[in-house]
A and B are shown apart, each in its own frame.
Chain A
């Protein structure tokens, strides 16, 4: 019996070691809150007469916010950014420059994110300093969703996963980065397993104590 229980214990430890490593790789080293650009559509020129030497573009962006924790996370942002998706670009034609239209109210904002993924949309508008463009000039455009600007205060790790638009000879390629995230199952298993382990261990210890006391009793 003792040998059998010992084997069960060893197997339990090995299984737990494996699961524990998975848990660590899923949660432990990764930021609690993350954002990613999950979709880009409708890249278009917007009619605008206020800047005759520039072209105004608009890009519709879909965003996902991931909360890897098991409860809501409140994230403080230093300003009310509109939009909170940002763009930067490097052009083949180095005389070109990008100037995004964005504003911010000088008000501290607090956002609560539920566990898992929250979706939102945004419109990114920006000028490129060349008139009458009909499509994006060749270059690399990086878009990211701002999160956790008050990182010191939030005491929360975060990451912003960008999407990259590559334009070459007018052909557009978009690269998205996925979250390193497997939802719910592992998290719930990580709760269950220590309980199973604890039960097995307790059983073994109680049997061992009972056995030892009976031996002592027998000896006496």
Chain B
């Protein structure tokens, strides 16, 4: 009888647990609360005064908030992304915590003509579908590079199956006209930086486009791209490699570093974020991750709306992650470097591209190259200080 009882008891325990084992919550609990997809607390302080750890980690708070450095009128960035609605455009310019100056919106209109609009109320934007990625990426710039002039280049986006969700205008991949326009207008618009946080599955370059990239480099334009989030070598997915611009030597590639222990046990503070991809270990080929910047829990704007109380367009600050934001983060530091150089030299003369790279290397956390971490992350204060002194010496 004792044996029967023991068997029955064991069986009872097993049986009682049977359904439970399929209903365990498996959301990764080791992600820190408040780091992803959650509201940024007190944005006026954490973003407005750059007191969030995503900023204090690199010292941008010191340069921007403590020393009050805003970007001067002679620095312009081109951001290539999926579109901006009228409200998103206005929110990026009016948001109370931090904002930029969007001076133009370059797109291919419904007649496939290259169109440059400068007013968010332009009727073309009435049909702009809200995607949100471009909005979030530029908000990272806004937080660090205050008042930076932005030219937005609009790619046509067709998510899902429902044509209502598709853009009716915008550039397709591999369109030469984008690069022709940027190259032709580089001097008049004072374009210094290009930031691109997309990946594409097909080869989108032509010899003509490569020639334009070389031309832009010769004009000291720095081109930054996201390393990608595939968490592996060369962004491999199945049998395919996604071709970020990192495949081309003209582009500098930016991965993500953890500024806190945000994703234990996959990555820790001061390490490459678990999702950040990497490239070659051969520096000469330059198909490498060059630097890392915070990208695992960075404040970004989402859900643009019109604030009836303040009578302004604005968005909600939430934490998001991805090398898209690391790229914008470094682009913002480059804008500070160029401004620092201007302040040092006392004019709008830009530093050469080589000089900018030297300053970035000088302020990097690593003196040696690592295949997964590149030269590490930037100390923004050291970078600004070095840029300012380089300007002084060149004056």
Contacts and interface: CB of A to CB of B under 8 A. Distances in A.
Interface of A: 9, 13, 16, 20, 23-24, 27-28, 32, 50, 60-61, 68-71, 73-74, 76, 78-80, 82-83, 86, 88, 99-108, 110, 120-123, 125, 127, 146, 149-150, 152-156, 187, 190-191, 193-194, 197-198, 201, 205
Given A107-B136, A107-B324, A153 B263 contact: yes
Interface stretch (B68-76, B84-92, B223-231, B338-346): B223-231
A82 B159 contact: yes
Interface in B184-200: 197-200
A106 B28 contact: no
B18 A149 contact: no
B199 A107 contact: no
Nearest to A195: B16
Interface of B: 5, 8, 11-12, 14-16, 18-19, 21-23, 25-28, 36-37, 82, 133, 136, 157-162, 172-175, 197-202, 226-231, 237-239, 242, 263, 266, 274-275, 320-325, 327
Given A149-B237, A153-B274, A69 B199 contact: no
6 contacts: A102-B201, A105-B133, A106-B197, A120-B160, A121-B162, A146-B237
Contacts of A27: 22
Contacts of A194: 12, 15-16, 18-19
Nearest to B227: A106
Nearest to A104: B199
Contacts of B162: 121
Contacts of A28: 21-22
B275 A23 contact: no
Those 8 A-B pairs whose CB atoms lie nearest each other, nearest first: A121-B161, A107-B322, A106-B226, A106-B324, A102-B201, A190-B19, A106-B323, A78-B229
B21 to A, nearest CB: 8
A16 B16 CA distance: 11
A106 B172 contact: no
B160 A99 contact: no
Given A106-B199, A108-B320, A190-B19, 11 more contacts: A16-B11, A50-B175, A71-B25, A105-B197, A106-B324, A107-B133, A108-B229, A121-B162, A125-B158, A194-B19, A197-B15
A24 B28 CA distance: 24
Given A102-B200, A123-B161, A79 B228 contact: yes
Contact of A110 (B26, B36, B157, B274): B36
A32 B26 contact: yes
Interface of chain A: mostly helix, strand, loop or mixed: mixed
Nearest to B157: A82
Contacts of B14: 20
A20 B197 CA distance: 50
B300 to A, nearest CB: 9
A113 B200 CA distance: 27
B201 A153 contact: no
Contacts of A146: 237
Contacts of A103: 173, 198-201
A191 B22 CA distance: 11
Question: Taking each of B26, B160, B198, which has the highest tally of chain A beta carbons within 10 Å of its own beta carbon?
Answer: B26
Contacts of B160: 82-83, 120-123
A73 B324 contact: no
Contacts of B36: 108, 110
A70 B24 CA distance: 9
A50 B174 CA distance: 9
B230 A155 contact: no
Contact of A61 (B5, B82, B161, B199): B161
A70 B174 contact: no
A123 B164 CA distance: 13
B43 to A, nearest CB: 20
A127 B202 contact: yes
Given A20-B15, A198-B16, A107 B27 contact: no
A68 B19 CA distance: 12
Nearest to B24: A69
A103 B235 CA distance: 12
A83 B12 CA distance: 48
Given A50-B172, A107-B322, A123-B158, A70 B239 contact: no
A107 to B, nearest CB: 4
Contacts of A104: 198-199, 228-229, 242
A76 B161 contact: no
A75 B326 CA distance: 23
B202 A99 contact: yes
Contact of A149 (B201, B230, B266): B230
Nearest to B266: A153
A16 B15 contact: yes
Nearest to B232: A78
Nearest to B136: A107
A7 to B, nearest CB: 13
Contacts of A86: 237-238
Contacts of A78: 229-231, 275
A166 to B, nearest CB: 20
B275 A108 contact: yes
